[in-house]
Amino acid sequence: MAASGDVPKVVFRIPTPALIAAGSAAVCATPVAWAAPGLQALYLLPAAFAWWVLRNRTTVDGERIVARSTFGKRVVEWSDVKAIKVVPKGWLSAVLADDSMLRLPAVRAGHLPTLSLVSGGRVADPTAVPDVEEPADAPAEPDEDETPPPLKSDE
């Protein structure tokens, strides 16, 4: 495993091309927003989405996890993390020592190898191949130059 000094920190965030959706929504809202007084408030929806994209992220290093949500931030030491809850099509969550859950924004199941590397092995890497040793009583395979004994037939 890599030491925590090898990888200082990793930031998981929502891809910034998602801001194109906010800009497109603002452009599409323009004809409606200027149709009547007060409808300019429609611009708040794309602005709120852009804020959500820019704000939600998880920063992980060898010491701690920093989860930033839309309106808050929570810092958790790795020693307080009991497990990582994996959701196949959603964001992962950290199960803390007091059995509470901390959602890790923008961290998905595909990020587990990176999370394992940065955490110094505190999170298991599901893609790692375990070292499997042959049991001592396992039959030895014949060498390539050794021919197997002939089969007996009951004729």
pTM, entire model: 0.72
The CATH architecture assigned to 57-124 reads Roll (2.30)
Task: Please tell me the distance from the alpha carbon of residue 76 to that of residue 67, in angstroms, as a whole number.
Answer: 8
pLDDT per residue as tens, the chain (155 positions): 444 456 679 999 999 999 999 999 999 999 999 999 999 999 999 999 999 999 999 999 999 999 999 999 999 999 999 999 998 889 999 999 999 999 999 999 999 999 989 988 888 888 877 766 655 565 556 556 666 666 665 65
Q: Which of 35, 2, 17 is nearest to 119 (CA)?
A: 2
Amino acid letter, 43: Y
Provide the token pair at 137: 């009583």
- Domain extents in the chain: 10-55, 57-124
